[in-house]
Chains A and B, each alone.
Chain A
Amino acid sequence: MTTDELKGLKVASLVDARGTACPGPLLAAKKAMGDIESGEILEVYSSDEGTKVDIPKWCQKMGHDYLGVVEESSYVRMFLKKS
């Protein structure tokens, strides 16, 4: 997905995990995933560099669709679709 497509997605939930370190963003994403329905989209903000690698791996393992990442100046926005 392109950056514009990602930014245009309708997200069901947004979790701001900026300012937390490993495994904070992962745990925040897991918790937020529990509150949305299958097929809905979760957006995760993280300022932790490692999360960019971790979240796609976690999605793959858990069966969620990792849609992509939008890089902002001091953080990343990741888009995940619940399986």
Chain B
Amino acid sequence: MAENTNTTVSTGPETEQISMVVFSGDLDKLLAAMIIATGAAAYDMKVNLFFTFWATAALRAPSKKAAGKDFMSKMFGWMLPKGAEKVALSKMNMGGMGTAMIKGIMKKHKVASLPELLKLAGELGVNINVCEMSMNLMGFKKEELIDYPNMKICGVATFLSDASESKIQLFI
């Protein structure tokens, strides 16, 4: 048998990775995703979040606008929540009353809000990859997304490549 000639060049223990598909646009599920993401960062893991479908709406910046949208894109933009502050609970939303109540309870228990968790994730180096196809479907443009330090617009190949090198893969 041939001798293994591979030489290891790594300088420290290999960085573990976690990759998540963040699909849901529900407040509760987005909170779960962001708490796991920031927690994983505390474990020195490389964290990759692939935002797709309804979740992309949570990355919209309320103050930003994009020009040159067609009628359907404008309609979608108008119907979907404009940013992390506006997403609702998956259950017991009750026309927004439930969501308002849970936000009050979260504040009381000092649980970070979704915009706070996004900011924290940015500071911790969590990567957010946004699905280009979803952006096109929803009619969102990258100019209207929040300012986030490690954000890329990409496709499924990026997720698969990240996930194949990750110990933990989640779909939320």
Residues of B in contact (CB 8 Å), total 13
Which chain A residue shows the least CB distance to B16? A61
B35 contact from A22, A29, A61, A62, Cβ within 8 A: A22
Chain A, interface size: which category?
Answer: 10 to 19
Closest partner residue, chain B, to A47 (CB atom)? B110
**Roughly how many angstroms separate A58 CA and B42 CA in the complex, as a whole number?**
9
Cα A14 to Cα B129 with chains together (Å): 36
Q: Whole-angstrom distance from the CB of A33 to the nearest CB of chain B?
A: 10
B:83-99 near A, CB below 8 Å: none
CB distance from B170 to the nearest CB of A (A): 16
Query: Are A21 and B43 touching (Cβ within 8 A)?
Result: no
| Inter-subunit contact B110/A27 (CB<8 Å) | no
| Contact mask for chain B residues 25-58; partner A; CB cutoff 8 A; 1 contact, 0 none | 0000000000100110111100000000000000
Tell me the complex Cα distance, A22–B109, Å: 10
What residues of B have a CB within 8 angstroms of the CB of A29 in the complex?
Answer: 42
Q: Which of A1-40 contact B (CB under 8 A)?
A: 19-24, 26-27, 29-30
Instruction: Tell me if B120 counts as interface (CB < 8 A to partner A).
Output: yes
Q: Which residue of B lies closest to A20 (CB)?
A: B110
Asked if A27 and B43 make an inter-chain contact with CB atoms under 8 angstroms apart, the answer reads no
Residues of A within 8 A of B109 (CB): 21
The residues of A that contact B111 with a CB separation of less than 8 Å are: 21-22
CB under 8 Å from chain A, chain B span 107-137: 109-112, 120, 124
Whole-angstrom CA separation of A22 from B39 in the bound complex: 8
User: B44 and A24: CB pair below 8 A?
Assistant: no
Report the bound CA distance from A22 to B43 in whole Å.
Answer: 14
Docked complex: B9-25 residues within 8 A CB-CB of A: none
CB pair B39 A62 closer than 8 Å: no
A-B contact pairs, 7 of them (CB 8 A): A22-B35, A23-B39, A27-B39, A27-B120, A30-B41, A30-B44, A61-B43
Residues on A lying within 8 angstroms of B by beta carbon are 19-24, 26-27, 29-30, 58, 61-62
- Known A27-B39, A30-B42; further 16 A-B contacts with Cβ < 8 A: A19-B110, A20-B110, A21-B111, A21-B112, A22-B39, A23-B35, A23-B38, A23-B42, A24-B110, A24-B112, A26-B42, A27-B41, A27-B42, A27-B124, A58-B42, A61-B43
